[in-house]
C-alpha cells in the first residue's frame, strides 16, 4: 500500500515538473505579451548628442512595430539607462537592466568601454549584445551567439582607407591624436597597420583622456613633428576642438577621423573650421533634403513626431530595432536567446531604403556589414568621396 502511494506521489511530482517546464525554460524578458529590450546610453556625458538621437530613433521604430500589432503577439518595450560614458557606471546600470529589470536583449548600447564593461554581466545571464553603437572588434569577435554587430569596425575601416587617403593627398609625414582607451587604440592601430602596408610609420602620437576639452599640448607636439597628415581617434567635442586649436596655430595638415567622428554634430559645432575634415563612413547622412525619397519621407515623419530633424544616430537607432525585430519575428513564438541567434544567422540579407548598407549574418560571421567609405565635410555637409 505504501509502495503504491509512493509511486503515485512520484508520478504527480513528475507530471507537475513536466507541466512547469516551459515556464522555467522561458527566457527572461519575454512573456506572452511583451519583449523587454535594454540599452545603455550616454545621456549626460560627452556622447549625449549621439545617444539622445539614437534613443529617439529606437523608440520611433518600437512605437511603429507596436502600433502595427507587435511581433508574434508580443509588443516591444525599450528600457534605457544612462552610463555617462563611464565603465563604472556602465557596470551598475547593466546590473540593473539584466538582474533587476531582466531584459531579454541589450541593443544599441553606446561606447567601446561601456559595452566591454557591460558584456560580462549580460553574458552571465545569457543576454545578447545586439548592434552596439561602437565599431570595436570586441563587439563581434570571437563569434558568439551573444554578440552581433552591424557597423564595419574601426580597425578594418582605418586600415583600409588611411593609406588610400595618405597617398591621394600626397602626404609625407603621418601622426596620430587619439583618445586613450579602447576606442582610440582601435582607430590608431588600424591606421598604423594600414600605413605600414605602404611603408609608412607614425612619426609622432599624442593622446588625451575621455572628456578632455583642451588640446594645446597635443597639437603643439604634432606640429613640432612636422606632420602633414593626422589620424584622429576623436569623437564629438574633441574633433572640432582639436582642429580649432591646430588652425589657431597655423597648423593645417590633412585630418582623418573614424566613423566615430562621422556625424552632423561635427560641422554643427566646428562650422567652417572643420571644412575639409575626412572620416570613414558606413552610410549616408539622412539629410531632410536627401535626393532619396524614402529618406525624405522618413525624416519628415520623424520631424512630425519630435519637431526636430533626424541625425545619423537617429537612423542608426531606428535601423538597429528594425533588424532586431526581423530576427525576433523569424525566431517565432518560442523566443529565446538561442532561437534569436539562429534566426539572425539564417534570415539572409536585410536591405534598407534609407541609405544604410545591407546586413547579413552567418554562423561564422556576426559582423553584419563590412562596408565603409571615406567622406569629407564640404561647405558644412558630409559628402562621400570614395
Closest alpha carbon to 316 in 345, 379, 257, 359: 359
| Spatial distance between the Cα atoms of 140 and 146, rounded to a whole number of angstroms | 9
216 and 305 fall within a common domain: no
Same domain for 113 and 140? yes
Across the range 23-32, mean pLDDT stands at: 79
**pLDDT over 80 (residue 159):** yes
Side-chain half-sphere CA neighbours of 304 within 13 A: 6
- Could you report the per-residue pLDDT of 228-261, keeping only the tens digit for each? 999 999 999 999 999 999 999 999 999 999 999 9
CA distances from 202 to 138, 191, 226, 231 (A): 25, 9, 12, 10
Residue 381 placed within a domain: no
> Is 238 within the bounds of a domain?
yes
Determine the Cα–Cα distance for residues 267 and 140; give it in Å rounded to an integer.
Answer: 31
Q: 145 is in which domain, residue-wise?
A: 34-152+291-370
- How many domains, the chain? 2
Q: Does 225 share its domain with 163?
A: yes
In the predicted structure, residue 19 carries a pLDDT above the cut 70? no
Instruction: Return the closest-CA partner of residue 134 out of 57, 50, 77, 45.
Output: 50
Integer Cα distance of 121 and 80 in angstroms: 16
Q: Is residue 14 part of a domain?
A: no
SS3 content of the chain, % helix, strand, coil (to 5): 45, 20, 35
Which has the closest alpha carbon to 128: 342, 382, 353?
342
Give the bridge partners for 377, in sequence order.
382
Residue 4 has pLDDT above 70, yes or no: no
Q: What does pTM read for this prediction? A: 0.89
The torsion defined by the Cα of 95, 97, 100 and 104, in degrees rounded to 10, comes to -120
pLDDT at position 25, please?
57
Confirm whether 203 is domain-assigned. Answer: yes
Same domain, 296 and 277: no
| CA 352 to chain CA mean position, Å | 17
Are 243 and 343 part of one and the same domain? no
Quick check: 320 and 107 in contact, CB under 8 A?
yes
Residue among 355, 354, 151 at smallest CA distance from 260: 151
Rounded CA-CA distance 231/191 in Å is: 7
Instruction: Say yes or no: 159 and 271 in one domain.
Output: yes
Chain segment 64-77, per-residue pLDDT in tens:
999 999 999 999 99
Domain boundary among 281, 303, 321: 281
Based on the fold, state whether residues 269 and 300 are members of the same structural domain: no
Residue 21: per-residue pLDDT: 39
Mean pLDDT of 8-17: 44
Q: What average pLDDT is seen over the chain?
A: 94
166 and 262 housed in the same domain: yes
Residue 385 lies in a domain: no
Structural domain includes residue 29:
no
Q: What is the 3-state secondary structure (H, E, C) of 238-255?
A: HHHHHHHHHHHCCCCCEE
Distance CA 7, CA 3 (A): 6
Classify residue 102 as left (phi > 0), alpha (psi -120 to 50) or beta: left
Q: At what angle do helices 293-306 and 312-331 cross, to 10 degrees?
A: 100
Q: Judge whether 10 lies within some domain.
A: no
Instruction: Tell me the pLDDT tens digit for each residue of 46-92.
Output: 999 999 999 999 999 999 999 999 999 999 999 999 999 999 999 99
Q: Is the pLDDT of residue 369 over 80?
A: yes
Q: Cell 537612423: give the residue.
A: 315
For residues 166 and 144, membership in a common domain is answered with no
Instruction: Please give the backbone phi and psi of residue 374, each rounded to the nearest 5 degrees, phi first.
Output: -110, 130
pLDDT for residue 269: 96
Output the domain CATH number for residue 235: 3.40.50.2300
Q: Is residue 312 part of a domain?
A: yes
Residues 216 and 264 in one domain: yes
**Cα–Cα nearest to 386, from 157, 226, 180, 188:** 157
Q: Which three cell numbers stand for residue 88?
A: 563604472
161 and 48 within one domain: no
308, 360: one domain: yes
Amino acid at each position: 500500500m505504501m509502495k503504491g502511494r509512493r509511486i503515485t506521489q512520484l508520478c504527480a511530482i513528475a507530471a507537475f515538473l513536466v507541466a512547469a517546464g516551459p515556464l522555467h525554460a522561458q527566457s527572461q524578458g519575454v512573456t506572452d505579451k511583451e519583449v523587454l529590450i535594454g540599452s545603455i546610453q550616454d545621456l549626460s556625458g560627452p556622447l549625449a548628442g549621439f545617444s539622445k538621437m539614437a534613443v529617439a530613433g529606437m523608440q520611433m521604430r518600437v512605437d511603429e512595430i507596436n502600433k502595427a500589432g507587435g511581433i508574434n503577439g508580443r509588443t516591444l518595450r525599450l528600457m534605457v539607462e544612462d552610463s555617462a560614458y563611464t565603465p563604472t557606471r556602465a557596470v551598475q546600470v547593466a546590473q540593473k537592466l539584466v538582474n533587476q529589470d531582466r531584459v531579454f536583449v541589450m541593443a544599441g548600447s553606446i561606447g567601446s568601454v561601456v559595452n566591454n564593461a557591460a558584456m560580462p554581466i549580460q553574458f552571465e545571464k545569457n543576454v545578447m549584445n545586439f548592434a552596439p553603437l561602437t565599431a570595436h572588434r570586441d563587439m563581434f569577435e570571437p563569434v558568439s551567439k551573444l554578440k552581433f554587430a552591424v557597423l564595419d569596425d574601426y580597425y578594418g575601416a582605418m586600415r583600409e582607407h588611411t593609406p588610400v587617403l595618405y597617398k591621394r593627398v600626397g602626404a609625407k609625414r603621418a601622426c596620430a591624436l587619439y583618445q586613450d582607451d579602447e576606442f582610440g587604440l582601435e582607430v590608431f592601430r588600424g591606421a598604423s597597420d594600414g600605413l605600414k602596408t605602404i611603408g609608412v610609420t607614425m612619426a609622432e602620437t599624442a593622446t588625451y583622456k575621455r572628456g578632455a576639452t583642451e588640446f594645446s599640448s597635443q597639437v603643439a607636439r604634432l606640429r613640432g613633428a612636422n606632420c602633414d597628415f593626422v589620424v584622429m581617434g576623436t569623437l564629438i567635442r574633441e574633433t572640432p576642438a582639436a582642429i580649432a586649436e591646430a588652425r589657431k596655430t597655423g597648423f593645417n595638415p590633412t585630418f582623418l577621423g573614424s566613423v566615430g567622428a562621422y556625424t552632423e554634430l561635427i560641422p554643427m559645432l566646428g562650422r567652417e573650421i572643420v571644412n575639409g575634415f575626412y572620416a570613414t563612413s558606413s552610410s549616408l547622412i539622412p539629410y531632410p533634403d536627401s535626393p532619396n525619397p524614402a529618406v525624405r519621407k522618413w525624416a519628415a515623419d520623424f520631424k512630425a513626431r519630435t519637431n526636430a530633424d533626424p541625425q545619423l544616430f537617429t537612423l542608426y537607432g531606428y535601423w538597429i530595432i528594425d533588424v532586431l525585430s526581423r530576427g525576433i519575428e523569424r525566431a517565432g513564438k518560442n523566443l529565446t536567446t538561442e532561437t534569436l541567434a539562429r534566426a539572425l544567422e539564417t534570415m539572409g540579407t536585410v536591405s534598407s531604403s534609407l541609405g544604410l548598407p545591407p546586413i547579413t549574418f552567418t554562423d561564422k560571421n556576426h559582423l553584419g556589414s563590412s562596408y565603409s567609405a571615406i567622406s569629407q565635410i564640404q561647405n558644412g555637409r558630409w559628402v562621400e568621396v570614395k
